[in-house]
Amino acid sequence: MVNNTSVSLESPLMSTYTRFPVTLVKGKGSYVWDDNGTQFLDFTSGIATCNLGHVPDAVKEKLEEQVQNLWHCSNLYHIPNQQELAALLTENSCGDQVFFCNSGAEANEAAIKLARRYAQKVKGTDAYEIVTFQQSFHGRTLATLSATGQEKIQQGFLPLVQGFRYLPYNDDAAIEQIAEIKPAAVLLELVQGEGGVIPANKEWVESLAQICEENDILLMVDEIQTGIGRTGTLFAYEQYSIEPDVISVAKGLGSGFPIGAIIAKNKAAKGFDPGSHGSTFGGNPLATAAGVATITHIVKSNLLKQVGEISTYLDEQLQTLKEKYSFIKDVRGKGLLKGIVVEINAAEIVQKAIDQQLLILTAGPNVVRVLPPLTATIEEINEFITKLEKAFQSN
Ligand SMILES: *Cc1c(COP(=O)(O)O)cnc(C)c1O
């Protein structure tokens, strides 16, 4: 049975979201304003998307310039911004070639298709399975919800796309199983975002990478939430001694302009030929203008060093809260992707935070997820802590 308790027949919008009673009309930096002019501190960053804060000048200028010239022309022609963004992404990662699309789910969809073709065409095997992990989240298209290791995402959409197997995360036995199964690929998040802000253990990831290497299994990391500086490095994999064959990115890549991509090593990229995959909008001049400005800003500025300092400060503040409030069981995450594990209802805290003009998220029933923009200041972290404490104390 599919639960469907909130259908409003009056709204012209389909009831796919439970929305907070807030209407946002403007944003700048770490703040957004509603239609009454009320200011909120936004520590959701549009779900890890507005990593440079709202309406960042560098991206705004580049988009305004591109708006004057050309919006769209299709991938039948060369697109200079696309080439520039691909060069930026490969120069700043272990990957060699990029495919552009428009969202996170589409990036993982491309990774899944690439893995199947790589196995069949390049390796010449009939392996098609892709191992993913329990509690993972990889998107809402039919293939990516099939890749997702959470039944609630799949409910009502059976039959699933075949060929996925969900193993326990951070589990040594899973690595042994992978060596036996010899799947086409392994797809994993380095910090499970939607699943509860659960970081992957360093040694576990490194053994997993070694098994993949020894068996020519593609190692694919879903960095849609962890990428673009979120965890303190441009990509989270840099904090592990691994070189993934495929990296999927989206959320932060366009600072809020929709864009997704996979970055693959030459070896894996051989799975695609002209005609094997495509997208009408993928990497269009506007989207890649936003991407070029975003990545250029991150790699040329001091921002990632600042993220290190700010996230250390945020950690200290959250640890202090943990000592003060016994319902806080754990504080975890990486960089500015933080989860506060609570014994009470996380959604209620998020609701009460709105009354304090603070926007935060949940990640499952017992985790409050905090995603400040990478540009957040010490003063804004202090404001966040004050507001969060008021939310804890209000009834
Ligand atoms: C958000 C997210 C996706 C899906 O991205 P969409 O742009 O919503 O399709 C996939 N994987 C992870 C890890 C995500 O956080």
Does residue 5 carry a pLDDT above 60? no
249-263 burial, b if ≥16 CB within 10 A, otherwise e? Answer: bbbbbbbbbbbbbbb
Indicate whether residue 102 lines ligand 1 (CB < 6 A): no
Which amino acid type is present at position 368? V
Q: Is the CB of 188 under 6 A from ligand 1?
A: no
Query: Which is more confidently placed, 25 or 2?
Result: 25
Q: pTM of the entire structure?
A: 0.97
Q: Are strands 358-359 and 39-42 parallel, antiparallel or unpaired?
A: parallel
For the segment 58-74, the average pLDDT, to the nearest whole number, is 98
Q: Is the CB of 222 under 6 A from ligand 1?
A: yes
Three-state DSSP at 321 gives helix
Read off the pLDDT of residues 30-53 as tens digits, 9 standing for 90 and up: 999 999 999 999 999 999 999 999
Ligand 1 closest atom vs CA 103: 7
Q: How confident is the model at residue 10 (pLDDT cuts 50, 70, 90)?
A: confident
State CA 363 to chain mean position distance: 13
Counting atoms of ligand 1 from 1, which one is nearest the CA of 139? 4
CA distance 71 to 66: 7
pLDDT of the residue at 1: 37
Indicate if ligand 1 lies below 6 Å from the C-beta of 288: no
Distance (angstroms) between ligand 1 centre and the Cα of 58 equals 25
Q: First CA to last CA across the chain, in angstroms? A: 35
The residue nearest atom 6 of ligand 1, judged by CA position, is 104
Please give the CATH number for the structural domain made up of 57-300.
3.40.640.10
What tens digit of pLDDT does each residue of 269-295 get?
Answer: 999 999 999 999 999 999 999 999 999
| Domain locations along the chain | 24-42+303-393, 57-300
378-393 and 346-355 are packed helices; what angle lies between their axes, rounded to 10 degrees?
110
pLDDT at 9: 64
Distance CA 138, CA 103 (A): 11
Q: What is the mean pLDDT of residues 189-199?
A: 98
What is the atom index within ligand 1 of the atom nearest the CA of 189? 13
CA of 101 from ligand 1 middle (Å) equals: 13
Q: Yes or no: is domain 24-42+303-393 CATH 3.90.1150.10?
A: yes
Report, as an integer, the average pLDDT of 113-135.
96
Indicate which residue's Cα is closest to atom 5 of ligand 1.
Answer: 104
Pocket residue to mutate for ligand 1, from 144, 251, 279, 369, most atoms within 8 A of Cβ: 251
SS3 34: strand
Place of tokens 């051989």: 270
What is the mean predicted confidence (pLDDT) over 249-262?
Answer: 98
Bridge partners for 185 per DSSP: 130, 218
Residue 95 three-state SS: coil
Q: What percentage of the chain exceeds 70 in pLDDT?
A: 97
Tens digits of per-residue pLDDT, 344-378?
999 999 999 999 999 999 999 999 999 999 999 99
What pLDDT shows up at residue 2? 44
* Minimum CA distance residue for ligand 1 atom 7: 104
